[in-house]
């Protein structure tokens, strides 16, 4: 067992599960989506992205690109949430919440692709 692969897989799967936990619920209801969970998803995705920088294979490049997409969408969701809560005078409206959750859904799709690629890489390993 390679401890580096265990940590790598742990953060990839954790980012997917946390993102799923944030995404589930009524899309426009802020009660169903916790801001701290979005923050946790963002931090775990950033850690997973940093762990991918060491992989120089073609599959590693694809994993890095999917992770960068997820981080970009999560940062956009966090900035949008911060904007409407602290800067904008409109506050958190249902349409804005739907946009935040949609951005999280896009990041979750990128996380799913990362997990599928990780499983494919694991299956292709020869003993």
Whole-prediction pTM: 0.90
Q: Provide the pLDDT for residue 127.
A: 59
Domain that holds residue 22: 3-125
Q: Say how far apart CA 12 and CA 123 lie, in whole Å.
A: 16
Domain count, the chain: 1
Spell 38-56 as b/e; 16+ CB within 10 A means b. bebbbebbbebbebbeebe
For 73-112, how does the pLDDT look when each residue is reduced to its tens digit (9 = 90+)? 999 999 999 999 999 988 899 999 999 999 999 999 999 9
CA distances from 101 to 21, 25, 30, 57, 64 (A): 11, 9, 10, 33, 23
């Amino acid at each position: 067992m390679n401890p580096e692969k265990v940590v790598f897989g742990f953060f990839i799967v954790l980012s997917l599960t946390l993102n799923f936990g944030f995404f589930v619920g009524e899309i426009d209801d802020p009660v169903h989506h916790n801001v701290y969970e979005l923050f946790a998803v963002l931090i775990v995705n950033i850690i997973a992205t940093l762990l991918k920088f060491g992989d120089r294979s073609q599959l590693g490049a694809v994993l890095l690109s999917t992770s960068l997409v997820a981080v970009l969408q999560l940062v956009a969701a966090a900035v949008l949430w911060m904007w409407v809560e602290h800067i904008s005078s409109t506050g958190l409206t249902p349409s804005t919440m739907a946009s935040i959750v949609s951005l999280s859904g896009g990041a979750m799709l990128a996380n799913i692709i990362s997990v599928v690629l990780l499983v494919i890489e694991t299956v292709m390993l020869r003993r």
